[in-house]
Amino acid sequence: MSGVSLRCGDCGTLLKSVEEAQEHAELTSHSNFAESTEPVLNLVCSSCGKPCRSKTESDLHTKRTGHTEFADKTSEVTKPINLESPNTSIPSPMDVDAAATAQSQDMVVPEVDQKVLEELEGMGFSKARATRALHFSGTPGLEGAVNWIVEHENDADIDQMPMVPASSTNEPPKPSLTEEEKKMKFLELRERARKKKEEEERRLEREKEKERIRIGKELLEAKRIEEDNERKRLIAFRKAQKEEERRALERIRQKVEEDKAERRRKLGLPAEVPAAAKPSEPIVEEKKMGLPVKPITKVEQMRECLRSLKKNHKDEEARVKKAFQTLFTYAGNVVKNPDEEKFRKVRLSNQAFQDRVGGLKGGIEFLELCGFEKTEDGEFLFMPREKVDIAVLNSAGKELQSAIENPHFGVL
pLDDT, tens digit, 9 for 90 and up, residues 266-298: 887 777 655 444 444 444 444 444 444 444 578
Euclidean distance between CA atoms 286 and 161, whole angstroms: 116
Q: What does each C-alpha distance from 167 to 103, 235, 304, 385 come to in angstroms?
A: 13, 92, 107, 124
Other CB atoms within 10 Å distance of the CB of residue 135: 23
| 120 and 145 Cβ atoms separated by less than 8 Å | yes
| Dist. CA 138–CA 134, nearest whole Å | 8
Residue 125 CA to residue 220 CA, distance in Å, equals: 53
| pLDDT of the residue at 83 | 63
CATH class of the structural domain 293-405: mainly alpha
Contacts of 193 (CB under 8 A, 6+ apart): 150
Contact between residue 133 and residue 143 where contact means Cβ atoms under 8 Å apart: no
State the pLDDT at residue 272.
Answer: 67
pLDDT at 285: 45
Distances (CA, A) of 407 to 252, 321, 403: 28, 11, 8
Q: Which residues contact 72 (CB under 8 A, 6 or more apart)?
A: 41, 42, 43
**Candidates 1.10.8, 1.10.150, 3.30.70, 1.20.1280; correct CATH number of 93-177?**
1.10.8
CB 15 within 8 A of CB 5: yes
Domain ranges for the chain = 5-77, 93-177, 293-405
pLDDT under 70: residue ranges of the chain: 1-3, 77-78, 81-106, 138-140, 166-177, 272-296, 410-412
Q: Which residues lie closer than 8 Å to 161 by C-beta, 6 or more apart?
A: 109, 127, 128, 131, 132
Distance CA 338, CA 384 (A): 10
Inter-CA distances, 404 with 218, 324, 327, 398, Å:
36, 7, 11, 10
Are 227 and 239 within 8 A, CB to CB? no
